[in-house]
């Protein structure tokens, strides 16, 4: 059976303030594929927390609807990741979309390396299909970006 809803957009903006601090904003557009209204209900965002001996902390979690109305959230910690659980009980009309925002701060060893700093932000699986996504990263002042695919040059 096809999914009743998808993320038609799943954008992630990461503003790295320093090698140990970053602000993350996710813009999620939930699209209702049904011919009747659906209520998304309970959902979650999974966030990778780095290595066990050097964990990354999540702080200042905030989720809102497009109009700024807060969305109830809870932070669940498990080994290697945290889960932001959120409750969306507002119906999405048939064949319509709803935009929600998730914001949080990361604190801990985000960048590693001596001569070159390495930053990675794994995107963990989603139970809802993602049609389109964009990831933008803003580096701290004085840093530049280079990229090599996993297979090398």
Which tens digit of pLDDT belongs to each residue from 36-90? 999 999 999 988 876 666 678 899 999 999 999 999 999 998 777 888 999 999 9
The answer to whether the CB of 109 falls within 8 A of the CB of 50 is yes
Full-prediction pTM beyond 0.85?
yes
Q: pLDDT tens across 117-141, in order?
A: 777 777 777 888 999 999 999 988 8
Please choose, from the candidates 106, 109, 108, 118, the residue with its C-alpha nearest in 3D space to the C-alpha of residue 143: 118
């Amino acid at each position: 059976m096809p999914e009743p809803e998808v993320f038609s957009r799943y954008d992630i903006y990461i503003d790295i303030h320093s090698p140990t601090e970053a602000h993350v904003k996710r813009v999620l557009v939930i699209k209702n594929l049904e011919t009747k209204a659906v209520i998304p209900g309970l959902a979650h965002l999974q966030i990778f927390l780095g290595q066990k001996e050097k964990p990354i902390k999540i702080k200042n979690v905030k989720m809102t609807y497009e109009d700024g109305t807060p969305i109830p959230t809870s932070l669940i910690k498990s080994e290697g990741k945290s889960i932001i659980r959120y409750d969306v009980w507002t119906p999405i009309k048939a064949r319509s979309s709803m935009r929600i925002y998730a914001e949080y701060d990361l604190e801990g060893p985000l960048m590693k390396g001596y001569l070159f700093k390495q930053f990675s932000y794994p995107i963990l699986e989603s139970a809802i299909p993602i049609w389109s996504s964009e990831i933008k990263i803003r580096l701290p002042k004085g840093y530049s970006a280079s990229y090599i695919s996993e297979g090398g040059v």
